[in-house]
Structure 1
Amino acid sequence: MLQNEDILRLSHKVAQSGHWYIRLNDNTLFWSEEVFLLHGMSPNATHPTVDNALSFYHPKDRDRVEALINETIETGKPLSFEARIVRVDGDVRWVETLGELKSSPSSNTRYLFGIFRDITENQQQRMHNQRLAWVLENTQELILMTDSNGRINWANSAFETLSGYSLEEARGHKPGDLLQGPETDPQTIAYMRDCVARQQGFSCEVLNYTKGGAYYWLRISCQPEFDSDGKLYGFNSIQTDITQSKQIRLDLEAEINERRRLEEQLRYLATHDELSTLPNRRHFLEQAEKEVERARRHGRPLSLLMIDMDHFKRINDQYGHSTGDEVIQTFAERCQGMLRKSDTAARIGGEEFSVLLPETDNDSGRRMAERLRSLIADEPIKTQAGPIQLTLSIGVSTYRQDSPSVEAMIQEADRRLYEAKDNGRDQVV
């Protein structure tokens, strides 16, 4: 059977501790082998005096330790403290001491008996945890922790400051239910919820709302935490307030989009007439050159119409230019409505228009022109000033090998247009 001494030695070894006592009658100090080793000394060394033992304590802890020992001796109060010692090799270690007074009835001797344990690693871990807790609490980043059901169980002060919710108000709520609002992107919400359901981490940017209804943007990095058995413990997230940078980015994107819109508008205005929205003269001529070249290369027919609104000046003089603008806009709409996708109608002057008809011979071009003339003549144009009767004079030309240029086609159609006007207008020549 193990002796008491063996049991004590084993217990010290398991607990990584040693024992000591002071015989108070003559102030003699005894250290166990483990205590010598904890001080970096040989177990065969001479037992130190009480004063020598106290000298091992760190200068900043020494007076406190001595005062606690004296208090226990004087009052019988149990001894308990943590302090630093400086080993003989200069290494600083944290130790824990527990002790109490003992008396021997037979010899009338009093002892202060205690145990001595190295807690350096525990102390370092505790200090690390304290520093970590301080960082978590005082960082500008929002720290949020949830349980396995995704409900908030802890948040730092940065979260409280930004969101306006205290921890007590937020605890037990799912972050999304508490913080997301009408403008939060549904796809982002669905993505986060899907990751949580799959017990997966995620990173994203999300629009949240404070308790008072103000919006703010966050960049969230969220990771699941599992226990040693692989069971989900909860989710931990670090959230950064990116409201200012996000707003700058959104403003920049809006500015870029506006510039693109203006550039597109400028490109459009460079090729189109703003009033009628039809291509302008420049764009029409460019398109006509392409179609003439195609007709020349493939031997395909091509017709061109030159159109003039009859007595348009009278409309402006009688009803005003705003009414004249209405007439031009309505004509352009009707003209576009009856043309094919391959045809090109353009406004090339005040009341002058031209239409390019690919794959169209002279007879077909004339029929197309007649349809357009009838479409306008048969139905008065509605304006703010009332209905206005409008007629057209149209000249038609067709591409020929002996007159192969755009300019030649336009000149020929223009001559026929004036022939139509000279013959009484409201007709196709």
Structure 2
Amino acid sequence: MAENPSDPTEADSASGPLADPVVSGPGTSTAGRESIVVPPAILAQQAGWSEPGTDVPGPAAPKSAEPQVFASTVRKQQTSEADYENVGSGGKLGVVLGVVLAVLLVGSGIGLYVVNSGSDSKSTAADSATSQPSQTPSKTPVPPVKTDAKVLPQVSGDFGKKADIALPSQHSDGSFVVKPLIQGDGAKVGKGDWVSATYTAKDWTTGKDIPGSYDQDQGKPQLFQAGLGNLIPALDSAVVGQKAGTRVLVVAPPAAGFGDQGNQKMGVGPKDDMVIVVDIQRANAPGARVSGDVTPPPADFAAVKVNGDGKADTITPPANPADPSDLKTSVLIQGKGPKVENGELAVVQYTGVTLKDGKEFDSSLDKKTAFSFVVGGGNVIQGWDKGVAGQNVGSRIELEIPAAQAYGANPPQGSNIPANASLVFVVDILDAGIGQPAQG
């Protein structure tokens, strides 16, 4: 993960801001995991469980000897004002996490994530400071998924609001059940898709509530990639194959949840069955784009042509463009989703070019995978943190970023970005919520 400048003013100096729009961010290439949306500190919960209100450092970003393009280059260590250390893999955007064995739903400062802290990669100081013990699911085989059982909890309440779960007097028969209760008509969730979901949960064995996303954070959704084996089976199996707008009832025996050891901090015992009601808010495939009525940018902005078919956008600056003195933003498509807040994980598509000559230096579209980063976390170039915060999910924006809020005099090694270059990005904001950048 990128380090912040030792002095707050350094980000605006000629030496340039953080190397990427994401701590492996908008100018880098990787995606992330989940964590709570308040301060970026909470975004570290993927590395273990934490009590509500406890500050937890964020996930580590492994280093790679291979130079990265804009989106993949991060200011990991500042050995001098003119020297940045690159990190990442093969030009992918995002933060590279350790090996994740299972994921957690994050709620009230606690989550259902289970992460293995082991990694051959080097970690930042914040990552090494993580002392929360990780929990590893047991290797007990996960039972086959059923769509029903003789005895099931009763669920009431509207989609998008906290569910009321009434437990029967009988115990669960141990079935792993995934049953849609309300059918949505949105995009169907596929393997590797980005999903935002809210949830309500109970321990069927003890009858106690498990904190969920409606209990705090104003019901903000958890944002994660589905079907990659990084989530507890109760989550992966709940969303893959379902459509956005669907409410799903999940009854998870220990093997589909936290395994034989349970989760003490969440109050889930080693033999406890969990009941989770998941509301799938949005789903985006890795190559998704936003859609809507297009408003052309002002005449002094670069013209934008959307090529489609997973190809980078064509961005054509005006003749003899003047370097901007500050960040300039134009909304090309006005999204109708919630506003992106600092501390949230954002999932985006982007193309970046140099303002002077319009030469492309990076695009998530060429990689056919969306990029994720924590907004306002200082993990990407300053122009990205400032430009994406406050925009609506579903928007397409054009950012014209001065060199002082991009890479300044020290562009990433191996990129074709000149020193002190102003940059232009077209960014599609696919989603935002509580989460962490994806593993690259």
Fold shared by both chains (TM-score > 0.5): no
More helix by share: 1
TM range (shorter): under 0.3
What TM-score results when the alignment is normalised by the length of structure 2?
A: 0.19
Greater relative contact order (Cα < 8 A, sep 6+): 2
